[in-house]
């Protein structure tokens, strides 16, 4: 057993002061009163803040390895290391609109990564290719397409237990395709969509309750046609991701969305990395990534920076920003029964933060890691 005494703890619901956290065999055992523990395996947190590890449901690569176009175990490991530095001990590697071949390579890379016993990957996110061309953003035009049953069945067969999420435009996919994906436990997220308000509301009423990167690559809120943004605001049940880097979305728009959506809004990085080959040639421009023609193509965020930005620029409370990076994405991914909180029998993956919210230590898989 390991004991982390003299700590402030955010357990996923509230802040607990002057507590000791007990961990054993990779699980949280208890939050105890008192700090009199001593001996081997006892660590003094000196009133630093312990929070649940973050979860990133959309990231394409890291540390110069672009998994989104060149999927491999090595790219997944590089992305995991990038995520870990930003507090995300769990992530969903993402492939944007591409060929069937690349998607199948991504499936095989995740399968092999798991077979090697490596950590962090929760499954694969296919962002496309079944999207609306008019809202493709930086996605490859030549691979945007409507789904064909044979291809979808192949993806389901090859990706069973591996494909965790798929972003698609509901207006270009028939109901039977969507139901088939959902029947096979693939989370459907509406995105890169030009759906009207009515089309979006219909999709939400028929069981799609997730949406991808609010405001970006979706039909905007207009007073005569509220679009997908209006439908998300109006539905009351759609959980939606957001990129809090100040480039994808203005911070005032984040503040408005938070007031309207409350616990339905969660953070992703949508992060890419520099890529000099292939079609997705991401180039760093300041603190964002763009394509060679200047199109915004991804962020340079970490989840920790997204949390800090939400607090500093969007007036979101510390507690809510932490939930947006941990508990809420855990709910979206259906893993909130064992991740996203500091609670008895939950997986003991957590961060230790100083007063400036900088990571001092990471605890994962039974190991305390110093990253200061």
> Residue 181 maps to which CATH number?
3.20.20.140
Q: List Cβ neighbours of 186 (8 Å cut-off, separation of 6 or more).
A: 156, 159, 163, 164, 165, 166
Q: Are residues 326 and 346 in the same domain?
A: no
Q: Are residues 289 and 212 in the same domain?
A: yes
Q: Are residues 43 and 59 in the same domain?
A: no
Looking from the CA of 263 toward its CB, the CA atoms found within 13 Å total 10
SS3 264: helix
Q: What pLDDT was estimated at residue 151?
A: 97
Q: What angle do CA 335, 338, 340 make, to 5 degrees?
A: 75
CA-to-CA distance for 97 and 132, rounded, in angstroms?
Answer: 11
E strand intervals along 34-123: 42-44, 49-52, 54-59, 88-96
Q: Which residue has the higher pLDDT, 1 or 36?
A: 1
- pLDDT confidence tier of residue 17, bands split at 50, 70 and 90: very high
Chain-centroid distance, C-alpha 315: 21
Query: Tell me, what CATH number does 40's domain have?
Result: 2.30.40.10
Question: Averaged over 113-139, what is the pLDDT?
Answer: 97
Question: Averaged over 203-216, what is the pLDDT?
Answer: 97
Q: Are residues 155 and 38 in the same domain?
A: no
| Residues annotated catalytic, as ranges | 270
Q: What angle do CA 227, 229, 231 make, to 5 degrees?
A: 70
CA-to-CA distance for 138 and 217, rounded, in angstroms?
Answer: 10
Q: Which structural domain, as residue segments, surrounds residue 6?
A: 2-51+340-370
Q: How many CB atoms lie within 10 A of CB 135?
A: 19
Please answer whether residues 28 and 345 qualify as being in contact, where contact means their C-beta atoms are separated by less than 8 angstroms: yes
Query: Does residue 342 surpass a pLDDT of 80?
Result: yes
Six token digits for residue 259: 């007031």
Closest among 231, 230, 238, 242 to 261, alpha carbons compared: 238
Model pLDDT for residues 230-252, shown as the tens digit of each residue: 999 999 999 999 999 999 999 99
Q: Are residues 183 and 304 in the same domain?
A: yes
Q: Are residues 149 and 11 in the same domain?
A: no
CA-to-CA distance for 4 and 220, rounded, in angstroms?
Answer: 47
SS3 285: strand
SS3 320: helix
CA-to-CA distance for 167 and 232, rounded, in angstroms?
Answer: 15
CA-to-CA distance for 330 and 339, rounded, in angstroms?
Answer: 6
Query: Does residue 366 surpass a pLDDT of 90?
Result: no
pTM of the model: 0.97
3-state helix, strand, coil in the chain (%, to 5): 30, 30, 40
Question: Averaged over 243-265, what is the pLDDT?
Answer: 98
Torsion of CA 66, 68, 70, 76, to 10 degrees: 70
Six token digits for residue 239: 């959980």
Q: Are residues 83 and 194 in the same domain?
A: yes
Q: Which residue has the higher pLDDT, 285 or 37?
A: 285
CA-to-CA distance for 305 and 71, rounded, in angstroms?
Answer: 25
Q: Are residues 125 and 31 in the same domain?
A: no
Six token digits for residue 366: 């039974």
Query: Does residue 39 surpass a pLDDT of 90?
Result: no
Query: Does residue 371 surpass a pLDDT of 80?
Result: no
Q: List Cβ neighbours of 286 (8 Å cut-off, separation of 6 or more).
A: none
Over the chain, what is the mean pLDDT?
Answer: 96
CA distances from 76 to 36, 71, 108, 112, 330 (A): 42, 8, 12, 10, 20
- pLDDT confidence tier of residue 372, bands split at 50, 70 and 90: low
Q: Are residues 169 and 212 in the same domain?
A: yes
Q: Are residues 92 and 27 in the same domain?
A: no
The distance between the two most distant Cα atoms of the chain, rounded to a whole number of Å, is 67
Q: Are residues 254 and 345 in the same domain?
A: no
Q: Are residues 116 and 67 in the same domain?
A: yes
Chain-centroid distance, C-alpha 257: 18
E strand intervals along 263-303: 265-268, 283-285, 288-290, 296-299
CA-to-CA distance for 343 and 357, rounded, in angstroms?
Answer: 22
How many domains does the structure of the chain reveal?
2
């Amino acid at each position: 057993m390991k004991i982390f005494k003299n700590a402030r703890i955010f357990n996923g619901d509230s802040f607990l002061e002057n507590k000791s956290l007990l961990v054993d065999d990779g699980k949280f055992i208890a939050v105890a009163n008192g700090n009199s523990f001593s001996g081997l395996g006892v660590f003094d947190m000196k009133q630093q803040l312990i929070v649940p590890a973050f979860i990133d449901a959309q990231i394409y690569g890291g540390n110069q390895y672009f998994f989104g176009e060149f999927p491999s175990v090595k790219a997944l490991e590089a992305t995991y290391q990038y995520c870990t530095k930003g507090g995300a001990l769990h992530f969903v590697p993402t492939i944007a609109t591409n060929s069937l071949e690349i998607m199948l390579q991504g499936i095989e890379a995740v399968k092999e990564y798991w077979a090697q016993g490596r950590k962090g990957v929760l499954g694969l996110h296919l962002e496309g290719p079944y999207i609306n061309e008019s809202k493709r953003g930086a996605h490859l035009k030549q691979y945007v397409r409507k789904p064909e049953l044979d291809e979808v069945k192949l993806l389901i067969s090859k990706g069973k237990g591996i494909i965790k999420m798929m972003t698609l435009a509901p207006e270009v996919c028939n109901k039977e395709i969507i139901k088939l994906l959902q029947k096979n436990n693939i989370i459907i997220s509406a995105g890169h969509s030009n759906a009207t308000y009515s089309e979006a509301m219909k999709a939400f009423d028929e069981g799609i309750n997730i949406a991808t990167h609010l405001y970006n690559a979706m039909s905007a809120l207009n007073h005569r046609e509220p679009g997908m943004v209006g439908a998300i605001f109006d539905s009351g049940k759609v959980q939606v991701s957001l990129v809090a880097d100040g480039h994808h979305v203005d911070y005032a728009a984040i503040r408005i969305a938070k007031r309207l959506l409350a616990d339905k809004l969660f953070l992703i990085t949508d992060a890419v990395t520099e890529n000099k080959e292939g079609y997705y040639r991401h180039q760093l421009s300041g603190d964002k990534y763009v394509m060679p023609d200047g199109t915004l193509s991804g962020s340079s965020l970490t989840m920790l920076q997204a949390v800090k930005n939400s607090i500093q620029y969007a007036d979101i409370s510390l507690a809510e920003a932490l939930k947006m990076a941990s508990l809420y994405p855990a709910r979206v991914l259906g893993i909130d029964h064992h991740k996203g909180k500091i609670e008895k029998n939950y997986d003991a993956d957590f961060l230790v933060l100083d007063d400036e919210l900088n990571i001092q230590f990471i605890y994962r898989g039974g190991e305390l890691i110093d990253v200061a």
